[in-house]
Amino acid sequence: MTGQERAAHAGTLDPKVTGSLPLLLGRATRAARVFDGLDKEYITVLELQGPPPADLETVIEAFEGEVFQTPPRKSAVVRERRVRRIHALDILERDGRQVLLRVRCESGTYVRKLCHDLGLALGTGAHMGDLRRSATGRFDDTSPVTLHDLADALAFWREDGEEDPLREVVAPAERALAGLPGVVIAESAAREVAHGAPVYAPGVLETRPAPHDGTQPETGDLVACTTPDGAAVALGPLTGDPDSDRGTIVNTDRVLV
């Protein structure tokens, strides 16, 4: 559709599941690792197989925290018992034997299995009804883009050279990096990085904290290297002290320009 030779996605959606699925095109595919392990949020219908018990809310709340899960038989991973964290489990609505839940959880959590286990704990039995992924990390479904939206925007661009509709549905790569701590580098350093060089101390202008908690990057953290005007240059682990006068500061293993 777009004519791009490369594309990537941040996770998969099972059949009949809708919602947030970030896609990357062209050079932005080099930033795909940013999405590895991001927390997910889901909206699901818990279908009880009996009348809801009086302690429904208490039982559901008890599932917040670490839970044990074994992947279902039809899964792409080895069926080994593992621990996943449920950050929040909220009841949004109740209607008879149907309970609308919002699940904020660690990547790799099986919501279908969670619903089954909730049914066992409630003593009624239960299964998952509808499921929608409402967020992948910072990317939520408040402003979704459909394939029809993309097709229309591409048609405007190809027929009339109109870029505005396309810019509304295709975000720049910088948006994918916005959740990372950053290292701002000089334009001269950016040119060297574009040709495969790491970021050396003289090219570092400043560091920027991770927006979600305000902490400065530490050695080993994945950082986004940008120019002073915010253009993405590269990704890589912080390997040295940004305040140092010499040495390698970032090993750039993904060049984005």
State the Cα–Cα distance between residues 10 and 127, nearest whole angstrom. Answer: 26
State the Cα–Cα distance between residues 170 and 125, nearest whole angstrom. Answer: 43
C-alpha triplet 25, 200, 35: angle, nearest 5°: 30
For residue 256, which of 220, 225, 217 has the smallest C-alpha distance? Answer: 225
State the Cα–Cα distance between residues 67 and 78, nearest whole angstrom. Answer: 18
For residue 113, which of 10, 14, 36 has the smallest C-alpha distance? Answer: 14
State the Cα–Cα distance between residues 93 and 66, nearest whole angstrom. Answer: 24
Backbone angles phi, psi at 217, to 5 degrees: -65, 145
Residue pointed to by tokens 């925007």: 153
Query: Cβ-count burial of 189 within 10 angstroms (0-12 exposed, 13-18 middle, 19+ buried)?
Result: buried
Active site residues: 14
Distances (CA, A) of 13 to 68, 195, 249: 22, 36, 37
Query: Cβ-count burial of 41 within 10 angstroms (0-12 exposed, 13-18 middle, 19+ buried)?
Result: buried
